Chain A
Amino acid sequence: MGLFDRLKKGLQRTKELLQTDIRDLFKSGELLTEEKLEQFYSKLILTDMGVPAAREIVDEVREKHFGRTVVIDEIWATVKARLKILLKGSENTLWDVENFLSPLAMAPTGPTVILVAGVNGVGKTTSIAKLANLLHKAGRKVVLAAGDTFRAAAVEQLTMWSKRIGCDIVTKPSGSDPAAVAYAGCARALETGADVVVIDTAGRLQTQQNLMKQLEKIRRVIGDKIPGAPHEVLLVLDATTGQNGVSQAQKFSESVACTGLVLAKLDGTAKGGVVVAIRQQMNLPVKYVGLGEQIDDMEVFNPDNFVEALFAG
């Protein structure tokens, strides 16, 4: 699907939405009651944005519109504005959705290093393949580092992707020190003059101290090899994740200072609202979204589309 088609689809979705969900709830001409606000609260909770963010939005709607006759467009404007403030955070970040590379901080000189982390099974390896593919197609020379030396066939999985993309990959046997793989990836990039190194890591739960330490070591080793690296530390989050996502963002950031999120699996029915809570509590922005298992199923995060989609269907 081309970009134009996607945009069209996005707009279509918005229209449908305004005709259905929110319109059903806030019927123009009716009075805005506590009961309606509670129903609205339930819709917010169902997006996984969490209690504090949902309360904040409901409170604002109550403050501005309670007891008055509903004007749907006004209420919707209030909700959207609040959500966008929540999502854009303090620096008011907004990427250029048409420039795939715009969310990435690139190294001024030498290779850019992107470290990718997250809990088990969220979509790290697949997201790396998608990102590498975008970079590769944009004419950047990419090296992948298969830093998951633990999970069965993780190295094979990334190797298969590298072949499909046609990019370089550095691997070590299963059971090797992942930091050594990351280091070797950086070394290879320096040798071959590659533009970007993307490092895969094994899935780990944020409560596993020893594995979080291992991740810190990976980060340290990268910086030793290439000063200033890693330039991006992307935390991959599964869109179906509930409130545990906040704990994930907190603990991974404490350990390796994440610079942004990749929200994978947004093609299902889950809304991924926990990123609102994460943005609200720790100001970590979403940079990309994953929309399928195939290599092209990734887009730059677009807050407008995301907010529309939160209430769709």
Chain B
Amino acid sequence: MFESITKGLEGALSFLRGQTKLTEKNIREALQAVRQSLLEADVNYDVAQSFCDRVARVAVGTEVLDSLKPFEQFVGVVHRELIQLMGPVDHTLNLAKGQVGVIMMCGLQGSGKTTTCGKLAKMLQGEGWRPLLVAADLQRPAAIDQLRIIGEQLGVPVYTEPPTSNPVKVCQNGVALARKQGDVDVVILDTAGRLHIDDELMQELKQIDRTVEPDQVLLVCDAMTGQDAVNSAKVFNAALELNGVVLTKLDGDARGGAALSVKSVTGVPIKYIGVGEQLDKLEMFHPDRMASRILGMGDVLTLFEKAQQHFDAEQMAAQQEKLRKGKFTLTDFRNQMQQVKKLGSFSSIMKMIPGMGRISEMMNDADMDPEQDLGKIEAIISSMTEAERENPEIIDISRRRRIAAGSGTEPSMINKLLKEFTNAQKMMQNMAGQSHLDRLRSLQQMASMGAFDPGAEVSFGKNRSARAEIDKEKKKRQRKDAKKQRKKNRR
């Protein structure tokens, strides 16, 4: 899916490549590709349409900057406009200390309300609030039990009444109790899922709203929702004057066009995103990341941002220079590895690059552990002398044995590393003269050619004979770790 979108934008790109500036005509054609990719990301048709009109206006008026290629400039405009439409961010819940705040959740069936109640309670708990959960879903079988169990997991009290009660009363009583007792300062109301076209149940929500006057009414919306997201969001907003939206289930591969649709038809800010079933899987919403996701650009910008923060600019520049001159040595290689490591784990970096998420999945599948392999590479390079690093040709059999012994690896691995290094050297030379986007594109190309096949290149995975034992040991350990993790996750 990611691939098809990137292709959509690639289409716009290849077409713009030969052009020297943005014109009305080439923008119109490029926008066609953008529109399709928005539709594939589940952005509502009308929203996608008016968005493209808007981009057209902005892009045509944009002065052509000499330094930028039209494609980059165009994508920049699209990206910026997306961010603008989904922003500004507002992560506040406007709760005042010293009084009992009330947060009410609402939304369609199964969107994640009950789970999000738990997540919010946990988040607020962490900030020093004392939450109370109120089980106002008397409709769905075992909904009360579900909230009660979540409360137990968090050590948060849960107010319940028997299913024969009435949801408005439950909310009223829960809030009254919290005000009276004084050991609670925020009440979170879990309401039953309902369709926006169910007049009776929408009326019930309004009644709760009027009776307890919550400080915050949050709509919980499934990120996988398609074109219909605008319809339900509009009606919920009209009935309740929403303060915010929580977009759930973003931990999968949904592109999440609903975020754009809901924000643009209601104007209600998206406050949080749900990224997992566990109760700590609630994050702040970031329009820039969402924009990249909708465009199928991965989290490229976050990666650049991180890279800029963590890379030592001078060292980078020096290395670039060396690269250009073809003087890139194993020492530089190790330095770069260390720089990259500052960005996070290998798999988390891969996930931020469009199309690469699959590769890190593949690695997991193949029981690969890139972190460990990178660690070995580092150990090998560190076991070399300065002269060997600058001039790997001098590494003969006896040096190889010494290095292997020093790094706890096999001599055959040293050989393999040196071969990979020569390849990498060539590759990097090619990339040295490219722009950021071009470089990403070559990375993607390499990925599709199998350069990142976990068994094929930098890692030692394919060297079966020498590794049979290690493999077995490693797998055993991984299985054990995985088991522990599963237990921890209660699965």
Using a CB–CB cutoff of 8 Å, the interface residues on chain A facing chain B are 42, 45-48, 50-51, 119-123, 150-154, 156-157, 159-161, 174-175, 203, 205-211, 214, 238, 240-247, 265, 267-271, 273-274, 293
- Known contacts A50-B40, A159-B142, A242-B224; 10 additional CB pairs below 8 A are A51-B40, A119-B252, A121-B112, A121-B249, A156-B141, A160-B142, A238-B222, A241-B222, A243-B40, A244-B253
Whether B150 pairs with A120 at a CB distance below 8 angstroms is: no
Cβ-Cβ contact count across A and B, 8 Å cutoff: 157
Question: Does any Cβ of A come within 8 Å of B97's Cβ?
Answer: no
Contact check, A269 vs B252: say whether CB atoms are below 8 A apart.
no
B11 at the interface (CB under 8 A from A): no
From B45, B147, B153, B229, name the one whose CB has the most chain A CB atoms within 10 angstroms: B45
Answer whether A269 and B226 are a contact pair too, CB < 8 Å, given A153-B145, A210-B486: no
Contact status A242-B252, CB under 8 Å: no
Assembly CA distance A119 to B486 (angstroms): 19
Residues of A near B427 (CB, < 8 A) are: none
Most chain B CB atoms below 10 A, which of A152, A159, A160, A203: A152
Specify which of A211, A247, A270 is in contact with B1 (CB 8 Å cutoff).
A247
The interface residues of chain A lying within 8 Å CB-to-CB of B252 are: 119, 205-208, 244
Q: B322 — which chain A residues lie within 8 A by C-beta?
A: none
Measured CB to CB, the closest approach of chain A to B7, in angstroms, equals: 12
Q: Measured between alpha carbons, how far is A12 from B221 in the docked complex, in Å?
A: 32
Cβ-defined contact, B224 with A157, below 8 A: no
> Distance in Å from the Cβ of A17 to the closest Cβ of chain B?
17
| Nearest A-chain residue to B490, judged by Cβ | A175
B139 within 8 A of A: yes
Chain B residues in 8 Å Cβ range of A244: 1, 42, 224, 252-255
B231 touches A242 (CB 8 A): no
Binary A-proximity of B138-162 (CB < 8 A = 1, otherwise 0): 0111110111111001000000000
Kindly report which residue of chain B lies nearest to residue A46, judged by CB atoms: B227
Q: Which residues of B contact A207 (CB under 8 A)?
A: 251-253, 361
Residues of A within 8 A of B145 (CB): 152-153, 156-157
- Assembly CA distance A274 to B42 (angstroms): 11
Structural contact, A48 and B226, CB atoms closer than 8 A: yes
> Which of B39, B114, B148, B227 has the most chain A CB atoms closer than 10 A to its own CB?
B227
B482 beta carbon closer than 8 Å to chain A? yes
B447 within 8 A of A: no
The smallest beta-carbon distance between B15 and chain A, in angstroms, is 18
A242 contacts B197, C-beta separation under 8 Å:
no
Q: Tell me, in angstroms, the Cα distance from A151 to B145 when the chains sit together.
A: 11
The CA-CA distance from A203 to B39 in the complex, in Å, is 26
Q: Does B101 contact A (CB under 8 A)?
A: no
Q: Is the CB of B40 within 8 A of A48?
A: no
Mostly, the A contact residues are loop
B195 at the interface (CB under 8 A from A): yes
* Contact assessment for B36 and A51 in the assembled complex, using a CB-CB cutoff below 8 Å: yes
- Segment 40-60 of B: residues with Cβ below 8 Å from A: 40-42, 44-46, 49
**Residue in contact with B226 in the complex, picked from A150, A174, A211, A242, CB distance below 8 Å:** A242
B491 within 8 A of A: yes
Contacts of A206 in B (CB 8 A): 252-253
Bound-state CA distance A245–B257 (Å) is 14
Residue of A50, A160, A205, A209 with highest tally of chain B CB at under 10 A: A205
User: Is B450 engaged at the interface, CB distance under 8 Å to the other chain?
Assistant: no
> Are B224 and A241 neighbours in the complex by a CB distance under 8 Å?
yes
Distance in angstroms between the alpha carbons of A308 and B143 in the assembled complex: 35
Bound form: Cα–Cα A233–B480 in Å: 31
28 A-B residue pairs with CB within 8 Å? A46-B45, A47-B227, A48-B42, A48-B226, A51-B36, A51-B39, A120-B249, A121-B222, A123-B110, A152-B114, A152-B147, A152-B153, A156-B142, A205-B249, A206-B253, A209-B364, A238-B222, A240-B226, A240-B228, A241-B225, A242-B42, A242-B226, A243-B40, A265-B109, A268-B108, A268-B228, A268-B232, A270-B227
Contact call A240/B222, Cβ cutoff below 8 A: yes
Contact (Cβ within 8 A) B227 A152:
no
Task: Specify which chain B residues have a CB less than 8 angstroms from the CB of A270 in the assembled complex.
Answer: 226-228, 231
Docked Cα-Cα span, A129 to B278, in Å, equals 26
Q: Which residues of B contact A238 (CB under 8 A)?
A: 110, 222, 224
B196 touches A269 (CB 8 A): yes
Q: How far is the CA of A48 from the CA of B222 in the complex (A)?
A: 15
List of B residues within 8 angstroms of A174 by Cβ: 490
- Which of chain A's residues have a CB closer than 8 A to the CB of B150? 152
The answer to whether A214 and B42 touch (CB under 8 A), given A161-B141, A240-B222, A240-B228, is no
Q: Kindly identify, within residues 215 to 270 of chain B, every residue whose CB is under 8 Å from any CB belonging to chain A.
A: 222, 224-229, 231-232, 249, 251-255, 257-258
Which residue of A is nearest B364, CB measured?
A209
Are B253 and A242 within 8 A (Cβ)?
Answer: no
Which of B142, B149, B251 is most buried by chain A, counting CB atoms within 10 A of its CB? B142
B window 266-308: CB within 8 A of A:
277
Supposing A209-B361, A209-B364 touch, asked if A48 and B227 sit within 8 A by C-beta, the answer is yes
Asked whether A242 lies within 8 Å of B258 as measured between CB atoms, the reply is yes
Residue of A120, A160, A238, A274 contacting most chain B CB atoms (<10 Å): A120
B226: A residues at CB distance < 8 A: 48, 240-243, 245, 270, 273-274
